[in-house]
Amino acid sequence: MKWRLYLPMQILAIGAHPDDIELQCAGTLAMYVKQGHQVFMAVVTNGNMGNYDVAPEELARIREAEFNQSCTVLGATPIWMNYPDELLENTVQNRLVFVDMLRSINPDLVITHGANDYHPDHRYTHQLVWDALPLAGIANIKTKHPATNRQVTLYMMDNLGGIDFHPTEFVDITETLELKKAALSKHASQTRIFHDLLDIDLLDVIETVGKFRGYQAGCKYAEGFTKVEAWYRGLSKRLLPESDQESRFNYKTEG
């Protein structure tokens, strides 16, 4: 039996709204943090249109503060892009903003929404990320930060409620489910409005979907992902975190 050290990675999760990342992949991000990787969470829009009883400018401030608190719970670094809620567009100008954001992190792996998610901000976020990734490595496209120095692997996270999403890989989040719930709980303005308007408990949603994905994955709770397959972005090893005792310390046995 021999030991192999995994070097720390730069992990970037990109969500359209301030609570999207917590809903869909916070358990996995918490696993990455536990294993010594550096995690960044980028929120594209400021969520300023989400509540009927709070003015947009004030709501944007509230949701940014909640997002920062959530990142603290998970041990992640926040990135607040501050686009207006509900109005995101896939333009060349916005694509270049995404290019520069990606370059500022130089990530090994990016997680974002799927192309068929229910909300246009989710779908445009997916498209902007997907279109920006190849440009981020082209040195002659100039932004504030230098070009990335690696081919970046892209994963799509689950759709809300697991609807019309078919994972190809799973992460066992049994040991980080409570951290995921604690992080989502920081988004009090959003959990309240879902309860008031739709009678939906978002904490119950993540536990229910987590348990369902766990049945599929063969564990108690899981999150599901699909790797975006593309030229020169294949993998010869797994980049999503594993839940065994050894991987918590960035080691894996081979024998």
Closest CA to 43 of 117, 112, 100, 90: 112
Mean pLDDT of 162-184: 98
pLDDT (0 to 100) of residue 23? 98
- What pLDDT sits at residue 206? 97
Q: Say what percent of the chain tops pLDDT 70.
A: 93
3-state secondary structure the chain: CEEEECCCCEEEEEECCCCHHHHHHHHHHHHHHHCCCEEEEEEEECCCCCCCCCCHHHHHHHHHHHHHHHHHHHCCEEEEEEECCCCCCCCHHHHHHHHHHHHHHCCCEEEECCCCCCCHHHHHHHHHHHHHHHHHCCCCCCCCCCCCCCCCEEEEECCHHHCCCCCCEEEECCCCHHHHHHHHHCCHHHHHHHHHHHCCCHHHHHHHHHHHHHHHHCCCCEEEEEECCCCCCCCCCCCCCCCCCHHHHCEEEEC
Cα gap 81→209, rounded to integer Å: 28
Residue 217 lies in a domain: yes
Q: Is residue 251 scored above 60 in pLDDT?
A: no
| Residue 207 is assigned to a structural domain of this protein | yes
Total of domains in the chain: 1
Give the pLDDT confidence of 65-111 residue by residue, as tens digits.
Answer: 999 999 999 999 999 999 999 999 999 999 999 999 999 999 999 99
Complete edge-to-edge strand list for the sheet that includes strand 222-227: 77-83, 38-45, 10-15, 109-112, 153-157, 222-227, 169-172
pLDDT number for residue 245? 45
Distance CA 133, CA 153 (A): 9
How confident is the model at residue 58, as a pLDDT?
97
Single pTM value for the model: 0.93
Apex CA 127: angle with CA 213 and CA 104, to 5°? 95
- What pLDDT sits at residue 254? 46
pLDDT one-digit tens code per residue, 204-233 = 999 999 999 999 999 999 999 999 998 877
Summarised one tens digit per residue, pLDDT across range 100-143 is: 999 999 999 999 999 999 999 999 999 999 999 999 999 999 99
Q: What's the confidence (pLDDT) of residue 4? A: 44
Query: Domain for residue 116, yes or no?
Result: yes
Does 50 score more than 60 pLDDT? yes
Structural domain includes residue 105: yes
Res 157: pLDDT:
98
pLDDT at 249: 43
Q: Could you list the residue range(s) of the whole structural domain that residue 248 is in?
A: 8-254
CATH number for position 45: 3.40.50.10320
Determine, yes or no, domain membership for 1.
Answer: no
Q: Token digits for 229?
A: 């397959």
Amino acid type, 107: P
- pLDDT of amino acid 233: 78
Highest mean pLDDT, choosing among 64-68, 146-150, 197-201: 64-68
**Per-residue model confidence (pLDDT) at position 231:** 85
As a whole number of angstroms, the distance between CA 71 and CA 13 comes to 11
Whether residue 2 lies inside any domain: the answer is: no
CA–CA gap between residue 5 and residue 31 (Å, rounded)? 17
Q: Is residue 22 domain-resident?
A: yes
In a domain, 187, yes or no: yes
